[in-house]
Structure 1
């Protein structure tokens, strides 16, 4: 399984979302999944923010783009290629002020590309091109935004991700949300992380069921 793994937390060793995404990949391997990981840390290698030149270039038909336009789109083209070549997408991020980190928003802006990650159909509709990939969003949240909590209505992260990636063809992404963390006591934090790890283990098991194990791949290669 080729996995594109994207981290977006500004933190490093103290990041819960980073730790949980590593845990998920470890669980996949422990389930016998043969992984090829394409890793991107958008907090370090942040995609360029949208400029006027980018907006003009991306909506100019490919056959009509100037060399300067093609150069403007080079990094975006490369990101789209990496997404489309992956079998699964693992996105890990904290919630910053109720929504996605700005570095991940720049990532979304760079991968939402007409003619690449979505196309127009003959009847005038739009067809996303990420419909075959498994997709999981692993998030960490300082407050408790689960249904029934006082802050539930303030979750702008989940609907934003569903809308952005739904447009690109991801109909049913998986969400594993560790909450509450920062604005809770130690016991509640530990419980939230344990719940998240349990959920991730279950998702890893489901993903693994449809994948040949590394042992099976080795046996097939020996035939």
Structure 2
């Protein structure tokens, strides 16, 4: 299968922002609320541009089953998949196409068990595909196919603030580190982070941090 080069953001006249939301909490989500402030400021700074909202809890993501896995193994190895495999993987390609149609990315993600919600992992497993978002060469290894000039804004929330060196959960942070790794794998290296911690703490601790995150999001959006 041959996939053409995804258009660079420099090829686009109007910006297109894909907001991937990973919280099931809707308006009660801390990461979602900060991301909403970012989107509002981004719209003001980029009049006429578009925002595609994708919530991984409500989006009907395709299963990546045995047929799709067989397709992926063959494409990665430079082999020809069967017509049945190609047909089976079409819903996966459709999700990848929607991802590539954007030229700016926003991910709002709560921390779950030191990492990301399983629904976001499902989405990322769907979009990391050979010949579409990454490629493999036995001589040179893997290379990302998504243009690196597309910026990514992460809005991350965490219940506490113990992930720094020496903290209670030192070495347990697999939220930001995982997202940077998988996005970098497909070519997205301009990754910026807004991190809201202590969301599980009492109001007097949480609210000043939330206000600071809102301010950071509103300040970051215009130049994103």
Interval of TM-score (by shorter of Structure 1 and Structure 2): 0.7 to 0.9
Q: What is the aligned partner in structure 2 of residue 179 from structure 1?
A: 197
Q: What is the aligned partner in structure 2 of residue 205 from structure 1?
A: 222
Partner Cα distance (1:32, 1:51) in 2 = 40
Higher mean Cα deviation, 142-151 or 186-195? Answer: 142-151
Aligned equivalent of 1:96, options 112, 115, 125 = 112
- For 1:165, what is the secondary structure of its paired residue? helix
Cα deviation, residue 123, structure 1? 4.7
Q: TM-score normalised to the size of structure 2?
A: 0.84
- For 1:107, what is the secondary structure of its paired residue? helix
Q: CA RMSD in A?
A: 2.0
Q: Do the aligned partners of 1:17 and 1:94 also contact (CA within 8 Å) in 2?
A: yes
Q: What is the aligned partner in structure 2 of residue 217 from structure 1?
A: none
Cα deviation, residue 121, structure 1? 5.2
The question of 1:127 aligning with 2:143 is answered: yes
Q: Cα gap change, 1:172/1:147 in structure 2, threshold over 3 Å: closer, same or farther?
A: farther
Partner Cα distance (1:75, 1:189) in 2 = 41
Partner Cα distance (2:171, 2:132) in 1 = 34
- For 2:204, what is the secondary structure of its paired residue? helix
Partner Cα distance (2:156, 2:34) in 1 = 9
Structure with greater proportional helix content: 1
Cα deviation, residue 77, structure 1? 0.5
Q: Do the aligned partners of 1:145 and 1:155 also contact (CA within 8 Å) in 2?
A: no
